Structure 1
Amino acid sequence: MRVLDGVVRPYAWGSRTAIASLRGKPVPSPHPEAELWFGAHAAGPARIADGGSGSPATDLLAAIDADPARALGTATASRFDGRLPFLLKVLAAEEPLSLQAHPSSEQAREGFERENAAGLTLDALHRNYRDPWHKPELIVALSEFDALAGFREPADTIALLRELQVAELDPYLGMLAGQPDANGLRALFTTWLTLPEGTIARLMPPVLAAAVSSLEKGAGGFDAEMRTLLELGEMYPNDPGVLASLLLNRVRLSPGEGLYLSAGNLHAYLNGTGVEVMANSDNVLRGGLTPKHIDVPELLRVLDFTPVAVADLVPRIRTVGAERVYLTPAPEFRLSRVELDGTGMTGPSSISFDMPGPQILAVLSGTIEIRPVGGAPIRVPCGQAAWLTDADPDVVVRADSARAVFFRALVPITD
């Protein structure tokens, strides 16, 4: 049982306030802070803070590598090749992230082996597969959180394109109207993603002007989509991903709501702060809104163009006392939110955990005390996390402040 310091990832789209405030650091931060990682990913393993007991390792990856069976349990270590299979993070997006999708397990294995055989180094800029793992992910909003996720029902997209009333879009509108299904979405998306830059440069001004006109009228029912179109068009002029965004569901999550993204789901986080858990992988296929490498043929092999409703992307929630469990089919992780009342007046002040396997408890409000059976307690304040190994005894977690909120990530038990 150890206390963890997360690793800040300073990507340009990050916030200068959200993560700094969470960690009790000066606000604004000197640089954008996009993600706070609590995990054992080689690119940024969480650091083991003073006050823990057990292994002398200085980071979580080293501690797991020193004894995978003890840290993960024999079942998890065997199933996931001695790796912690999930990465838990706080994500704070001040600006939109790239349009992207992740491969299935089969696609990841095949692509990784293919690029290895081609002699691509793991850090090659045009490499798509940096490991043989898939990357399902779940985001739970801490603030209002905006995203694009999954291809919208074609009938609704046709209505959106008609609302714009742009003559230059008529050929593309006709393409989808003539085949309003997954094949039509694939054809239109492929066409837009491969348009010459000059064609996009001529197309975007009337499209953006039409979005402004639609907002001024205020009667179309697509205000959020129009505002997103304008925002992306300003940030990424002549990027085909701006057009592609018109095909996707525009999602707004309230705090506590979640979004689960499986293989092949094209998505982009736009703005907000959330807790994210994902399979421990680096495999990303980008589709726009970025200067980074875009491999269109490989992206098309990975994408799932089946239209999906937003309701089908929202995980079911099971509440057990103070714990809200977000249910997904991912074998690598299970995420839950726990809120404790240190006063004992409006809710439980403690909760006990006895599930085997590795766990990470990330504290996002207040302070918690973790007391193992027969051992000394540790305190974990806001902005830090606790690492519980399979070999650790059962624990009781209690609020050490008037209110404490933490997120619990673990590997679900399988038969």
Structure 2
Amino acid sequence: MPLYRIEAVPKHYAWGSRTRLQTMFHLHSGGQRDERLAEMWFSGHPQSPSPLALPTGEKHDLLSEIHADPVAMVGEQASQEFGPVMPYLFKIIAAEIPLSLQVHPVDFEARAGFNRENDLGIALDASERSFKDSLAKNEMLVALEPFSASVGFAALNEQLRLLRAVDHPVARSMVHALTARTFHVGQPPQEYAASDVMMPMSSIAWPDSRRRIFRAFHVAITAPPVKAGSLEVALRQALDGLPELGKTRAEAALHNAIEAAQAFETDASVLCLLMMNPVELAEGESVYIPAGLPHAYIHGTAAEIMTNSDNVLRAGMTVKHKDIANLLHSLNCQPATPIDPSSSAFAALAIQDLITYRPKISEYMLAYGRVDSASGAWPITGRLIQRYGELMQKYGPQRLQLPSSGPRVLLCTEGSLLCTTDRQRVKLTQGEAVFIPAEDGHVDIGVDTSETVNTAGAGAAGSSAEVSVASHGSYLFASTPF
């Protein structure tokens, strides 16, 4: 099969950027110049499949081509495990203002919600629709520039420390919820009976601390609108009052909440960010967000890859539909450190200018790499080697290869490069991408060293020839992990 040129599907949301994705994908023309562009999807999702350019010049959507020949397009293993579909959804996102405070539904809640909304006759593209498909969404993000987010619940003592520092009525109510203990299972403090009936079925086995986290979160997301500006003032006062000792993490959490309060002045749910882990990613750093984990992206540009799902349950910080009840049924209240899925084989990765990100799921993996005819050191891998030095020593050098089967998408994010399979060779420049069918086997991503330049003197204007020049490029490679 040939390599297919694949087009990204643009998504315009209120939190997007007016410049970042437009520049990467060279979209500075027409009406898109002034629109906020939030996401570019490389997608086989039924609601937004990407167009493929066929050798005949026609365009067919990716999902139709997979349905026509699933073994050739996605491979026998992926076809057997997932069916004739694209197992993952790959995006580039750019957030200029904070995204919604959200949770992705766990698997059984996704199936139940999708079927329930179908039975109610809610259109798949309706604004009040919560479940666009029946899949849990497990998501991974890799920063392409400095990226800030809030992910999962922090330790209980950290939550209390920050909320106690904020002089605001909602923050005080959240502190009370975090400290009001349940002395008998099934007999919550009377004031929290309404929140406790919204806990998921698994809560019967929760420790009391997790129930208190649920209640405090519920207090914030169900609070009525507050006075405009009051949240930002209280948060800035808390920031100014922080002691220098231990300031870094608390400062990051408060900065996230302040940025959210500037965008959503009357929404008390921004205080939930003080309950969560602040995540500051440099380029090449990553975080994995399994279904059920609360999160909010604050600012930056990143690659995102996830199971082939568009299910989002929102609790606040949004103009879109909120579904608090269903969000709470999937909410993971266990405090934990955010998960970094980067490969540990950094000795090999540094040599190959390649980083892989492999969460422990079978739908996807992602690679971020560089090709460079000058063979200079790539600062990103050097920084990650330093960060993960102990893991590098533990696992030692390992040979790393990109998957040679399964459905693959290669996107050039900077410069230019050559993609070569046994059947075809394609040059890609920034913003261009190809879909590589499973049938095409091994793929090589290399330097593009041929470029048309003027080889004549001033008296022979217009004369040109193909000559070898220094070249470099960076890329993202999405695939199944097999």
TM superposition score normalised by structure 1: 0.89
Q: Distance in 2 between matches of 1:171 and 1:141?
A: 35
Select 1:29's aligned residue among 30, 33, 41. Answer: 33
Select 2:162's aligned residue among 160, 182, 185. Answer: 160
Give the match's secondary structure for 2:33.
coil
Select 1:172's aligned residue among 167, 171, 174. Answer: 174
Q: Distance in 2 between matches of 1:304 and 1:205?
A: 30
Alignment of 1:212-291 (within 5 A): 212-217=236-241, 219=243, 221=247, 222-291=250-319
Correspondence 1:188 to 2:219: no
Alignment-derived partner of residue 358 in structure 2? 327
Give the match's secondary structure for 1:62.
helix
Residue 305 of structure 1 and its aligned partner are, at CA, apart by: 0.6
Give the match's secondary structure for 1:304.
coil
Going from structure 1 to structure 2, the CA distance change for 1:153 and 1:354 (only over 3 Å counts) comes to closer
Give deviations 1:299-357, integer Å, cap 9, x for gaps: 110110111123xx22232444332111202221111112112234658xxx9756211
The structure having more radius of gyration, on CA atoms, is 2
**C-alpha RMSD of matched pairs (Å):** 2.5
Going from structure 1 to structure 2, the CA distance change for 1:354 and 1:128 (only over 3 Å counts) comes to closer
Residue 376 of structure 1 and its aligned partner are, at CA, apart by: 3.7
CA contact (8 A) 1:366 1:400 kept: no
Going from structure 1 to structure 2, the CA distance change for 1:208 and 1:116 (only over 3 Å counts) comes to same
Correspondence 1:131 to 2:104: no
Going from structure 1 to structure 2, the CA distance change for 1:353 and 1:96 (only over 3 Å counts) comes to closer
Residue 145 of structure 1 and its aligned partner are, at CA, apart by: 0.2
Residue 273 of structure 1 and its aligned partner are, at CA, apart by: 0.3
Select 2:147's aligned residue among 135, 145, 148. Answer: 145
Give deviations 1:137-186, integer Å, cap 9, x for gaps: 11100111011111111100111122224566434313213447211110
Give the match's secondary structure for 1:367.
strand
Runs of at least 4 residues of structure 1 off by over 6 A? none
Q: Distance in 1 between matches of 2:111 and 2:173?
A: 38
Gaps of at least 5 residues in structure 2 are: 182-207, 379-399, 450-470
Residue 68 of structure 1 and its aligned partner are, at CA, apart by: 1.7
Correspondence 1:46 to 2:80: no
* Number of aligned positions between the proteins: 401
Residue 77 of structure 1 and its aligned partner are, at CA, apart by: 1.9
Q: Distance in 2 between matches of 1:100 and 1:168?
A: 20
Give the match's secondary structure for 2:325.
helix
CA contact (8 A) 1:85 1:333 kept: yes
Residue 219 of structure 1 and its aligned partner are, at CA, apart by: 2.9
Residue 295 of structure 1 and its aligned partner are, at CA, apart by: 2.2
- For 1:286, the aligned partner's letter is R
Alignment-derived partner of residue 372 in structure 2? 341
CA contact (8 A) 2:150 2:253 kept: no
Give deviations 1:75-121, integer Å, cap 9, x for gaps: 21232221101111111111111111111222212222233334433
Select 1:201's aligned residue among 226, 234, 250. Answer: 226
Larger CA deviation: 120-129 vs 244-253: 120-129
Select 1:2's aligned residue among 4, 13, 16. Answer: 4
Give the fraction of aligned pairs with identical amino acids, expressed as a percent: 30
Q: Distance in 1 between matches of 2:7 and 2:117?
A: 35
Q: Distance in 1 between matches of 2:171 and 2:290?
A: 31
CA contact (8 A) 1:352 1:395 kept: no
Q: Distance in 2 between matches of 1:346 and 1:245?
A: 37
Gaps of at least 5 residues in structure 1 are: none
Q: Distance in 1 between matches of 2:213 and 2:234?
A: 22
Q: Distance in 1 between matches of 2:139 and 2:243?
A: 35
Give the match's secondary structure for 1:126.
coil
CA contact (8 A) 1:352 1:394 kept: no
CA contact (8 A) 1:57 1:63 kept: no
Alignment-derived partner of residue 475 in structure 2? 406
Alignment of 1:363-382 (within 5 A): 363-373=412-422, 375-382=423-430
